[in-house]
Structure 1
């Protein structure tokens, strides 16, 4: 980085005043590119999403549920999204 050091303002602690930080320097930004492709298969993404959705809905997956979650994860994106939508929208209705 060839830019001069950034000087941050010193807050006036006696005045209990807020202070603004300087604008970010575009020259100091990192060049971080997203990965070209995901390392997860669609089945892995569905499994992770289903586990997260169940937990968020207050239904933590039980160890005996692995086969059911695996079977649901093998279905296509449309079915996986529908199941997640059902769990998010009405978890109390599903529990009775």
Structure 2
């Protein structure tokens, strides 16, 4: 038998909001030339779960966009 079934409000293979943000943070850091260290992965996980306003500010700080 395969793994657990996805939550009914999610499509298989589509990351949830935190998962999407986690991928986005990795991409933003990579573009900014910041390679996350192994110990930074926990921080990225925590930061991917903040509210929308905080996440927008975090992303703006990393990318340097107004």
Greater per-residue helix proportion: 2
5+ long unaligned stretches in structure 2: 1-9
- Number of paired residues? 54
Q: Compute the TM-score of the two structures, normalised by the length of structure 1.
A: 0.50
Q: C-alpha distance in 2, partners of 1:78/1:45? A: 16
The Cα RMSD (Å) is: 1.7
Greater relative contact order (Cα < 8 A, sep 6+): 2
5+ long unaligned stretches in structure 1: 1-36, 91-96
Q: Compute the TM-score of the two structures, normalised by the length of structure 2.
A: 0.71
Q: C-alpha distance in 1, partners of 2:24/2:46? A: 14
Larger Rg: 1
C-alpha distance after superposition, 1:27-58 (max 9, x if no partner): xxxxxxxxxx7621110011011111011111
Runs of 4+ in structure 1 off by over 2 angstroms are none
